[in-house]
Structure 1
Amino acid sequence: MTLLATGICALCLAALHLEARFFAPTLDAPRSPWLSAAGGAAAAYVFVHIFPGLCEGQETLRRTGWAIVSVLDRHVFLIALGGLLVFYGLERTALAARGGRSGPPVSPSQQGVFWLHLVSFALYNFLIGYLLVNRVHPGPVSLFTYFAAMALHMAGNDHALRRHFTDDYRKCGRKVLALAVVCGWACGAVLHVHEAVLALLFAFLAGGVVMNTMKDEIPLDGSGNYPAFAAGAAGYAALLLLL
């Protein structure tokens, strides 16, 4: 039953990428309050649910006795920082190719930028799908909160990628990302890693969620929607505390 439930969640996340374009009129600029609320909810999930879990993951790492643990401290949080830096670098690359946030989508002549983003976000979606099955805290409530937060987060990612790479993303990008989620779930169903590795994977995901959420809420042009973002964050944080 658990595998079936996570499989359904993976298919729903994949369908989100395939069908998100139908919601484009509602989500497009000026910055939609729905996107801001979704970003706030995803950020709340990271700060209220994942980050406290990273403290447990840090203790799990210390108990492994791995050599790297004796060299570095705060390993889990360094991985989270790494996730943030990776996606910050990707965003800067896309903005440079566009000539700024208000510039046109990346041109077909800059395919390298598109493929760099596509491969990176495919691996990111693969990780999201994998962690549907292999979460630090198993159980239906954990699955629901993780799925809901990732669905909201991926809606924002889809919107950002469609804005950067309009035609290329519409033609093949969304299909690759949808497939990546399902492949991640399938891998998670047959391959289980050490709980310390699981903590590191969640740490990287946390850093990525923070960056991919905040990059659209604090742009230099001020197009974020603070009231909607704050409402989404407060509402989802309250839900997580109640469950």
Structure 2
Amino acid sequence: MSIDAIIMGIAFICIHLFANDLLPSGRIQRLKWFSFSGGLAVSYVFVYVLPTLHKEQITVKKYSDYLTMESELYFVGLIGLLIFYGIQKVVRKAQKEGENKKARTLFWMQILFFGLYNALVSYTVISHEVLGIQAVFYGLAVGMHFTAVAHDLWREYEDIYNRVGRYVLAAGILMGWIFGVNVSLPPVTETIIFAFISGAMILNVLKYELPPDEEAHFPTFAIGVISYTSITMSLKFFFQW
């Protein structure tokens, strides 16, 4: 395991443990932070996740004679999006209907699924051996994504999240990390995992990280999109990522 993966793993764990303590306390500063973070996340989806998914779709056909279409991995990504959307929809519906006991039970299920999500993301980082400057930009985008997810869960049930939830999410990172170091899965399986979490990540970014109109600071959002995209595309051009 490279030093880059170790640093990213520790950073991701710390984010879940201390995310809400690191966010700015002022409302305007917090809105700008989330707008900038949302800009980075959207840029990350379009300049890294989708192109990588396309490349993996081409690669995976080399390992199986049964994959004859050009969209199998996109279907897996769609399943990931559907599952995570369904879980979050059920939890929010129970909250709106005032079924507090049911909502809290469902929130535990949501925490467990996000723990699994974190484990799969962590495993993907290790298995893809992201190194050097690429690791910095990958880690920056994913780290801000984790911060937004942690804050969203914290806002729903602060007591559960602070008491247990954040440790479950951090444990997910650790489990994926350990699994990635000790287990080598077939390339097709690794690609399917990447496709599944890509769908879930696209949902979380576009539905939950983009700030609502009344809370968005568009100039800061635009700066996040343009700066991350420009730098990443330049590095792709020079270093052939």
Matches within 5 A, 1:15-164: 15-24=14-23, 26=25, 32-67=31-66, 69-70=67-68, 73-99=70-96, 107-108=100-101, 110-135=103-128, 138-164=130-156
Change (3 A) 1:207 1:228: farther
The alignment's TM-score, normalised by the length of structure 1, stands at 0.85
User: CA offsets, 1:55-83, max 9 Å, x none?
Assistant: 2211122112253x24x540111122222
Aligned residues: 235
User: CA offsets, 1:68-125, max 9 Å, x none?
Assistant: x24x54011112222222222233223212218xx9xx83553321121011100111
- Compare 217-226 and 16-25 and name the one that shifted more: 217-226
The alignment's TM-score, normalised by the length of structure 2, stands at 0.86
Distance apart, 1:10 and its partner CA: 0.7
Maintained 8 Å contact 1:217/1:224: no
Report the Cα distance in structure 1 between the residues aligned to 2:26 and 2:121, rounded to whole angstroms.
Answer: 23
Maintained 8 Å contact 1:31/1:225: no
Report the Cα distance in structure 1 between the residues aligned to 2:209 and 2:8, rounded to whole angstroms.
Answer: 27
Maintained 8 Å contact 1:84/1:210: yes
Maintained 8 Å contact 2:35/2:210: no
Report the Cα distance in structure 1 between the residues aligned to 2:92 and 2:27, rounded to whole angstroms.
Answer: 18
Matches within 5 A, 1:155-234: 155-216=147-208, 222-234=214-226
Gaps in structure 1 of 5+ consecutive residues: none
Gaps in structure 2 of 5+ consecutive residues: 236-241
Secondary structure of 1:26 counterpart: coil
Counting aligned pairs with the same residue, the percent is 29
- Compare 174-183 and 39-48 and name the one that shifted more: 39-48
Report the Cα distance in structure 2 between the residues aligned to 1:224 and 1:129, rounded to whole angstroms.
Answer: 30
- Compare 139-148 and 184-193 and name the one that shifted more: 139-148
Distance apart, 1:50 and its partner CA: 1.9
Report the Cα distance in structure 1 between the residues aligned to 2:112 and 2:163, rounded to whole angstroms.
Answer: 15
- Compare 107-116 and 41-50 and name the one that shifted more: 107-116
